[in-house]
Structure 1
């Protein structure tokens, strides 16, 4: 799929990986709608890319549906590319100090990361299925965001790893289901990236984290994630995959 001239919706596009993706797609000629729970951040990024912004919580299906409808109104049709970067990384042990469980946290992380991703994928696909096919036969591409924690989650990351494992596991069955409508589905599993979550950590903590990255020995740049999104969109034979983007990192137990 040629990115130039298409409509794209980037969910979680107000910061981090999503903001970098919105900027990169706009530079490549896409008309971008930026969706984020933080409406101010979404509006700021949208202004940078001469796009449009929508405030929405991905865990609320009605808000996701409204965001896709708004994007369709702007583009005159459904977006051909949907990228879902929204997520939270709350951590807690299954049973913590004094025997306290973390069931409420687990439920919230699943609602945002997994159900939220499913909401975005569902409403994006619903719009794409009515688009006229391109010369390649494609109608659209959906890129979800997993995490390397889905394979090597650390202590305290049970909720996060479970949510991202669900995102990764959806890639193949979703791609198989949507093949008949010409919609491809992939996921990216990022490793350790320069995001707002990392920015707040002390230098020695970041150095310890970076020590696990084989090569190049540094945190990933959000722009590198964005370039992989663009490549997935452009490479019509990429489908049903979850791609690790991590510099050969394997997370230690803690």
Structure 2
């Protein structure tokens, strides 16, 4: 699928990995609806990028708010050809604290709800929008749409305290193949990227010493990933029609222990 003149919903698109994706898609002539809770950053980015971008304040766990973002894409750009779901949170929480008290269930559930349920919510509504619009779904080998979700290497290499985060991202991995198989009849592909340690605003809160240790643990290149590298993989997935139903680790060969 080409990016030029096609339109994409990017959740979490106001900063970090999502912002890099927005810039990459617009740079190749595509249109983007940014769906993010950070209205100030989202509106500023949309203004900077120009007529090819719209911003909608959106909670990915809300069906109504995600649908509102899709409605903007349909009104402004004639509909969506895909979505890149970068919205998510990190929950650090041990099962038992120092006094052996159990973890707070609401905290665990919040991570799963945003990272996993939110991904499913966006996928179901974007897929419905594409499927209802297309008229050539019965044709073979027609690339009608693409849904790209963001997992994490924590889905495979979860560390202590990542029960909520790791399991929610493992759930995103688990969505990939079932959704790809189901949506194949509509010519809609489903892919997942599992990034490693990337230099995003989320990492800015980590002490410099800890950042250095993370960088040193990456075999090669021995640094954090650049969000532009994530975006480059996204644009390749969109372009390469034979990529479907797969999870790609983008991590410099790091394996967390």
2:49 maps to which residue? Answer: 49
Partner of 1:91: 92
Figure out how many residues of one structure are paired with residues of the other and give that number.
Answer: 251
2:222 pairs with one of 199, 205, 217: 217
Give 4+ residue runs of structure 1 displaced > 4 Å after superposition. Answer: 132-136
How far residue 122 of structure 1 moved from its aligned partner, in angstroms, is: 0.6
User: Is the aligned partner of 1:234 residue 2:239?
Assistant: yes
Unaligned runs of 5+ in 2: none
The Cα of 1:37 is off from its aligned counterpart by 1.1
Question: Secondary structure of the residue that 2:185 maps to in structure 1?
Answer: helix
Q: What is residue 165 of structure 1 aligned with on the other side?
A: 170
Aligned residue in 2 for 1:12? 12
CA distance in 1, matches of 2:233, 2:135: 25
CA distance in 1, matches of 2:187, 2:247: 19
State the 1:132 CA deviation: 4.4
**Structure 1 unaligned runs (5+)?**
none
Match of 1:69 in 2: 71
Q: What are the superposed Cα offsets for residues 115-165 of structure 1, whole Å, 9 maximum, x if unpaired?
A: 000011011100111224599511100100000000001100010000000
Q: How does 1:1-254 map to 2 (within 5 A)?
A: 1-50=1-50, 51-77=53-79, 79-98=80-99, 99-129=101-131, 130-133=133-136, 137-252=142-257
Specify the SS of the correspondent of 2:191. strand
Q: Is the 8 A contact 1:32 1:49 kept in 2?
A: no
Cα deviations across residues 166-201 of structure 1 (Å, max 9, x unaligned)?
A: 001111000000000000000000000001111122
RMSD: 1.3
